[in-house]
Amino acid sequence: MRPNIDDALVQEVIDKLHEIVIARGGLRRNEMQSIYRQLPIEKQQLAKEIVKHMKLRGLCAASDGRLRFVSEPGGPGRISEGNTLDPAMTEDANVPATRPPAERRRRPNERRRRPNDPPWTVHANISRNVVEAMVGLVQESEVNEQIEVNRRYFNLGHLTRGRRRQELFPLVCEAENVKNKELRCLIKEMQKGTAERNKEKLYESEDHQDRLQVMRDEICPPTGIFTVNEISARLRHRASDLNVTTTDLGRALAGFSNVRAAYDEQNGNTSDVEHLPDTDNRRIIAQATVVCIPDDYITGYTCRSRDTGHVVESQEHAQRQDDQRRRGENRLVEDLRKAGYPPNSYRTEEQVIEDGETEATPDVLFNDQQTIQGKPVNWIDAKSACDIPEVSTERVMEALRRQVEKYVEKYGPGAILWTKCGFCQDVLSGVEGVSHFRPMANAHGQPPRERQAGPSRSSIPAPPTPPIGRLR
């Protein structure tokens, strides 16, 4: 049972201890009687109760650093002045002379110190102004004002000038200091969104079949003999006028079955081609579509051959996507390792699948909830993509939304690490429990500029100045 301890008396005992320690250069545990004798008789018994309850370690800890208790192997222990600890005693007790008592109390926690935050940031780098310019360009109804979907863009200088929205977008990007790598991702995402919306226009209204038939007759007239190269040239020209990809237009005109059969025929598998009726020259239009596939880097990879799997373009696209995904996952795991997260503190996607979970498999699933950049995180999924609402296709955004909602429902709050070109602020607005991170610039130890480009002029020592005077 704790005695009735008077704080004033505790402070008086500590003051007496400090005086004797300074006078004697230290005090051992078995020399405490000298303290009691210097106190009034009515306080001696209470002082003994204080020492019995708080122990000498507690008194030293309550002395605000003036006293320090040093254990002695095989001895009773010793009290020394906090700022002038005997080096010999410190060495024997294996206690640093400069460590204050408060830090000694933190030592057990230091062994279990919390990992650092990975080199990520929660701040969106795709600003609202850039998103608004992108949305306006994608939702533009006039083809002459849209970004071209059948053209490869690498920087702002390749954008067609003289169009009001295409002039606005470069100005906004320059004002917001959008990097060239991020810019290529944004342009391609706008091309995907524009191609998807223009493709839907091919099937709009009840008379769309009549309109498609007119285009078939223009590209491949019913009378006459034409080569596949001639048809493919007309297909490209018509796709450019409508600002759709040649693959989307070819499938609308020839039909999905004919395009797949053309792939089979190209790959040497013609067993199922002959049964398809060649009405309205659809077969030759499908063959022309296959010829145009290598130039269609937006939707060309979506065509599949029934028996031989992906065509070469699709295989290359799938390989690129898989490489990007794995680079993002590897970067996520490497960042966690460098931040101090041990491998046994989480499970990777492969380990989650091995444990029998196949429905919700994030790239990293923590054993216990973590706090990263001030956000509660149970899971992290790396995304090597650039998903922007009202710019990216609706099916892509809906698939992303369903995926993260499944993670939140099963595992609680988590985060997405956007490794490709960052993210915008409203990427998943309305979805609760999801935080967004992106790697910070130069977060992976990029060498200084001088190491990359060689020594600068300022780092090269100047030649010695010759002495002034007569040359001999």
Residues 77 and 33 in one domain: yes
My answer on whether 18 and 103 are in the same domain is yes
Answer whether residue 343 is part of any domain. yes
pTM over 0.75: no
Determine, yes or no, domain membership for 38. Answer: yes
Q: Which residue has the higher pLDDT, 137 or 263?
A: 137
The reply to whether 349 and 256 lie within a common domain is no
C-alpha distances out from residue 24 to 18, 28, 83, 172, 196, Å: 10, 10, 15, 76, 88
Domain count, the chain: 3
Among 13-27, 150-164, 381-395, 451-465, the range with the most confident prediction by mean pLDDT is: 381-395
Which residues does 103 contact at the CB level (< 8 Å), separation at least 6?
A: none
Single-letter residue type at 15: D
Both 298 and 380 in one domain: the answer is no
Mean pLDDT of 60-74: 76
Pairing of strands 120-121, 78-81: unpaired
Whether residue 327 is found in the same domain as residue 429: yes
Domain that holds residue 12: 7-111
* Nearest alpha carbon to residue 289 among 316, 317, 319, 311: 311
What separation in angstroms does the CA of 81 have from each of 32, 95, 100?
16, 14, 11
How many residues comprise the chain?
472
Boundary (domain end) residue, out of 60, 93, 111: 111
Q: Kind and range of the H or E element at 299?
A: none
CATH classification of the domain holding 333: 3.40.1350
- pLDDT tier for residue 104 given thresholds of 50, 70 and 90: very low
Closest CA to 415 of 442, 436, 395, 390: 436
For 31-51, write each residue's pLDDT tens digit: 667 677 777 777 778 877 887
183 assigned to some structural domain? no
Least confident of 7-21, 99-113, 339-353: 99-113
Co-location of 64 and 39 in the same domain: yes
pLDDT digits (tens, 9 = 90+) for 182-217: 888 999 999 999 999 999 999 988 888 999 999 998
186 lies in some domain: no
List CB contacts of 397: < 8 A, sequence separation 6 or more.
387, 389
Could you tell me if 405 and 338 lie in one domain? yes
CB 191 within 8 A of CB 160: no
Examine the pLDDT at 382 and tell me if it is beyond 70: yes
List pLDDT tens digits, range 315-374: 665 666 667 677 778 889 999 999 999 989 999 988 888 888 888 999 999 999 999 999
Dihedral over Cα of 440, 443, 444, 449: its sign: positive
Per-residue confidence at 454, pLDDT binned at 50, 70, 90?
Answer: very low
Is the domain of 237 the same as that of 255? yes
**Same structural domain, 25 and 90:** yes
The whole-angstrom separation of Cα 253 and Cα 283 is 10
- By the 8 A CB rule, do 343 and 356 touch? no
Task: Tell me the mean pLDDT in the region 156-175.
Answer: 73
Residue 232 maps to a domain: yes
Please state whether beta strands 120-121 and 434-439 pair in parallel, antiparallel, or not at all (unpaired): antiparallel
Which of 367, 382, 380 shows the shortest CA–CA distance to 413? Answer: 380
Residues 135-147 have pLDDT tens digits of 998 998 888 888 8
Indicate if 379 and 399 belong to the same structural domain: yes
264/308 Cα distance (integer angstroms): 7
Q: Six-digit token pair at 269?
A: 């598998």
Do 292 and 320 fall within a single domain? no
What average pLDDT is seen over the chain? 77
In the chain, the percentage of residues whose pLDDT exceeds 90 is 30
At 457, is the pLDDT very low, low, confident or very high (cuts 50, 70, 90)?
A: very low
Q: What is the pLDDT of residue 456?
A: 41
- Listed in sequence order, the residues at least 6 apart from 325 whose beta carbon sits closer than 8 Å to its beta carbon are 382, 384
Please tell me the number of Cα atoms within 13 Å of 48 on its side-chain side. 11
Task: Classify residue 393: in a domain, yes or no.
Answer: yes
Residue 448 inside a domain? The answer is no
The pair phi, psi for residue 358, each rounded to 5°, is -125, -15
Helix (H/G/I), strand (E/B), else coil: 417: strand
Write down the pLDDT at residue 89. Answer: 39
Compute CA distances 188 → 31, 184, 298, 324, 330, whole Å.
82, 6, 8, 16, 25
- Identify the domain boundary among 310, 328, 351: 310
- Strand extents, DSSP E, 323-430: 346-348, 364-372, 375-383, 414-418
* Residue 378 pLDDT > 90: yes
Q: What is the pLDDT of residue 155?
A: 64
Whether the pLDDT of residue 463 is over 80: the answer is no
pLDDT at position 72, please?
62
273, 290, 310 — which closes off a domain? 310
132 falls within a domain = no
For residues 385 and 166, which has the higher predicted lDDT (pLDDT)? 385
* Sequence-distant (≥ 6) Cβ neighbours of residue 217 within 8 angstroms: 280
Residue 438 is predicted with a pLDDT of: 93
Q: Of the candidates 14, 113, 4, which has an alpha carbon nearest to the alpha carbon of residue 60?
A: 14
Do 343 and 254 fall within a single domain?
no
Which pLDDT does position 18 carry in this prediction? Answer: 81
